[in-house]
Amino acid sequence: MNMYVKRFKNKFVWRCNLMNKKGSLGLIAAIIVLGLIILAYVLIDVSMWDCHNNRDCQSNAYCGTDHECHEYPSQVLVKNNYTGTAFVFGIFLFLSVYFYKTGKIPFWDRIKKFKRKKKKEDKEGYVEI
């Protein structure tokens, strides 16, 4: 018998067995009670919020992500240091231009030799820890 026919028959028999049974009132009641408990929890949580948007706070405050009013800071310090990011970006830019112009990946020969050496050691029974 084909594998797909067996699967279909198993699913069909399982569905027929469910159709002939009477519904369980306890299971339905438990699902409804659980849903009502979750709904009550969400409604209580929303009602405990101090604010929903900035208009709910005073003029010198804003509504934070914790839904409470926070005063605006008196001094804002912004420190941007992009030296490290620019350095990494420059290295990758240089490598990509080198790869584009020559068609070779830099240091690829060294990587191949290292992989071959490691495979050779693995074959001989040496394991690096």
In the chain, domain spans: 83-124
Residues of the chain with pLDDT under 50: none
What radius of gyration, in Å, describes the C-alpha atoms of the chain? Answer: 33
Are the C-beta atoms of residues 62 and 72 closer than 8 Å to each other? yes
**DSSP 8-state class, residue 127:** -
Q: What pLDDT, on the 0 to 100 scale, is given for residue 125? A: 58
Tokens of 50: 């101090």
Q: What pLDDT, on the 0 to 100 scale, is given for residue 23? A: 64
Cut 0.75: pTM above it:
no
Q: What pLDDT, on the 0 to 100 scale, is given for residue 42? A: 93
What is the residue-wise DSSP string for 49-90?
-S-SSGGGS-TTEEE-TTSSEEEPPS--------HHHHHHHH
Tokens of 54: 């900035």
